[in-house]
A and B are shown apart, each in its own frame.
Chain A
């Protein structure tokens, strides 16, 4: 028993020691993008440059807490998130530094970068309206604002308010329409919900396809992964019953959020981190996001995938994304008051 215990402890210690061995030619990444959606790119980067990459994935807020507390000894070089709100929060907490790379600035348009160059978007995802083709005509739809109209009573499926994508959508409405209008809108949406919010984005599309509601609000890439899911015919069938509608095309454009990254303030390998960032916004990587996860590139001219092309071109809201972060707390409070669970 004792021996077994010792050997197990020794084994775990050896794993520990392994994690300590630090080479100098490397770059350390804290990522809120899931392993499946970042590791392949990191491997490509290593293959192209010989720079080793080390990865920890977790939810952005928790990585941020870790980053903050590790302070100047933090091993992290790059902090990757899947929404602009968290990048803004990281910046506010002072854990990032200016990137100052002319290469990156020449690729990524300014509304997809922090005004002080503390972070940069890697890919775009749009949150749009999906309608059931049998029951709704595209010309009945117009804008996000219109979804609060009583004509949609009991016809909308949307997920809970703890979800950052809903928080960001409301944050963008606070920015354009003001706090009062945004709250009235949230109340209207709650009144029009077909069921209490539950599940993720795909669940909303599935519920609409099954007849529980006529409209679903979801991010575009979930729709893409459902459409291309050859292994689960039920998902494909559900996705085929709905069509995509790009809202607010005559106005500010469809709401977009980004996956983005910033270089940490105490980054031990800053040069490598900049090289990695430049690689992540390069045409090759941009095409990879589009093909593997149906995300839109940050550059208008980048090559995308057939799936994205089939959805057509659209006008995106070019509100500076840092505003989403700035309005986040107000958005959550509004949803609480409106009874949006």
Chain B
């Protein structure tokens, strides 16, 4: 509870602005651009939902319950787009497919067409933003859905088939509903990230909430109106969460049986196998290979100038930060989710909810929400010691890595929390009761019963936070100490200066550093399934 409250501080700091009286700016926004922000954000959310669900669920199902050539590779390859920062993919696609880019230029040279003579999808549009975000965010849905499919007890699937259900029917009527909490958890991560995205939408010139918040805060210099916008954004998220919970009603999604064995996989052949391969290949190609190839090409041109000794230091910084953040946030999420399970009172639930909201708030807003209380604390301590001991303590926390890590927790705790909760939710309460009645303390139950059962889920959480922190930008940028840089900072500084080719080396390094854990973890996620070969050995 205390932890939850602590990590709610930045969110709540932002909220305090909301209660200040409305300014002229608010009226101005209402009169001019607010409707546009609302419509665009809603369309963006809807589009990304459809996109990431289609890509994520279909590939998760294919790779967990069907066999087809290349499946082993697709299992981890499908995660690769996760390592691609959204703004980077936006830059590369624009570089390739924009009116002035090589593809359209070639087309004009071949056909002799000029501007306005032909139709070509406009990359920098709402549709383009939906495509870009879906391509890099579907892995959230894929990861969690796949973990859920794999954790499903084989019995329910066998029962469904013995009752006359074909593969499609057992997918729609049994597996999908059972995996729903996990799919929803994945989707809500994707959507929160969508709502918090700034890089892509601002580059595409779209008026949505995030661009609006920034413009109001920094262009119009009005914190109150900006915070009101941020609050409206949160309301948006809350509504989504509540709608989902409402539609789930009282249904619980525990596994009714604990009997696991190797899942019976559908053997696909011929055209079906080909279609399955194509379905899995497309997102990997569009979300990773194509933009990755463009980056590699750019990096090839510029790396001699861009890669130097400081580059290794940058990589070290990034990896170290990401790893500590991933572990820390998993530990906190376990405490929170477990606390919620042990004491499901309203106040605890609410505290956990709020601390998980940070993910939908743009990183910059979080950063500001951290600077204010941290600096206040530091200055208060300093004033106190000056007065009583005549010593100045200076700034203890502001401008240190502690502040940076704290920001990551605020922003990414939701990720760990969602994953851990959906994992815990699948374990029946009777397991807890049994363990407790056999004399385990709650902590022991967690460590010896729940954690081994949820190994796949826990690794998933580590992986997502790690990759997210590798990509994280705004909070790192503003909170970091002197002379401290990360790969994301380097890549962004060059890219935002419109030096895309120069930024490619750092961007590729982010992707590569993200790759290693992706591959390692996807391996252990698939082998961590209860009933998998490894488990039979131990019996």
Contact = CB atoms under 8 A, between A and B. Distances in A.
A73 B394 contact: yes
B375 A16 contact: no
A184 interface: no
A257 to B, nearest CB: 15
Interface in A69-110: 69-75, 89
B478 A66 contact: yes
Contacts, number: 179
Most buried by B among A5, A164, A198, A341: A198
Interface in B393-410: 394-395, 398-402, 405
A175 interface: no
B395 A74 contact: yes
Nearest to A222: B498
A241 to B, nearest CB: 11
Contact of B320 (A8, A58, A196): A8
Given A73-B382, A231-B302, A65 B220 contact: no
Interface string B111-150: 0001100000000100000000000000000000000000
A328 B221 contact: yes
A136 interface: no
Say whether chain A's binding surface is mostly helix, strand, loop, or mixed: helix
A62 B198 CA distance: 15
Given A73-B392, A75-B395, A19 B99 contact: no
Contacts of B100: 203, 206-207, 209-210, 212, 238
Q: In this complex, which of B219, B375, B479 has the most chain A Cβ atoms within 10 angstroms of its Cβ?
A: B219
Interface residues of B, number: 76
Contact of A8 (B33, B323, B474, B494): B323
B301 A58 contact: no
A253 interface: no
A37 B364 CA distance: 23
A283 interface: no
B215 interface: yes
A41 to B, nearest CB: 15
B288 interface: no
Interface stretch (A117-125, A137-145, A273-281, A332-340): A332-340
A198 B204 contact: yes
B61 interface: no
B205 A28 contact: no
Given A36-B494, A66-B371, A212-B99, A19 B501 contact: no
Interface string B490-507: 100110111101000000
B94 A199 contact: yes
B121 to A, nearest CB: 14
A61 B392 contact: no
Interface in B301-345: 301-302, 317, 320-321, 323-324, 327-328
Given A8-B323, A16-B401, A19-B483, A200 B478 contact: no
A183 to B, nearest CB: 13
A201 B498 contact: yes
Given A54-B482, A329-B221, A65 B371 contact: yes
A34 interface: yes
A61 B484 CA distance: 19
A9 B324 contact: yes
Contact of A11 (B320, B398, B405): B320
Contacts of B496: 34
A57 interface: yes
Contact of A202 (B32, B217, B485, B498): B498
Looking at B28, B218, B489, the one whose CB has the most chain A CB atoms below 10 A away is: B218
A333 B28 contact: yes
Interface string A197-223: 111111100110111100000000010
Interface in A2-23: 5, 8-9, 11-12, 15-16, 19-20
B372 to A, nearest CB: 6
A255 B395 CA distance: 41
B493 A332 contact: no
B379 A160 contact: no
Contacts of A292: none
A238 B499 CA distance: 15
A324 interface: no
Contacts of A34: 493-494, 496-497
Contacts of B32: 336-337
Given A62-B368, A212-B100, A75 B478 contact: no
A70 B371 CA distance: 8
A162 interface: yes
Contact of B124 (A73, A199, A209): A199
Given A34-B494, A328-B219, 18 more contacts: A8-B320, A15-B317, A15-B484, A16-B400, A16-B481, A58-B477, A63-B478, A66-B398, A69-B374, A70-B379, A74-B395, A162-B219, A197-B205, A198-B203, A199-B205, A231-B501, A341-B205, A341-B207
10 contacts: A15-B320, A15-B401, A34-B493, A56-B399, A66-B398, A69-B371, A74-B395, A200-B203, A210-B115, A337-B32
Closest 5 CB pairs of A and B: A54-B482, A198-B205, A69-B375, A210-B100, A206-B100
Interface of B: 28-29, 32-33, 94, 98-100, 102, 104-105, 108, 114-115, 124, 202-205, 207, 211, 214-215, 217-221, 301-302, 317, 320-321, 323-324, 327-328, 364, 367-368, 371-372, 374-376, 378-379, 382, 392, 394-395, 398-402, 405, 474, 477-485, 489-490, 493-494, 496-499, 501
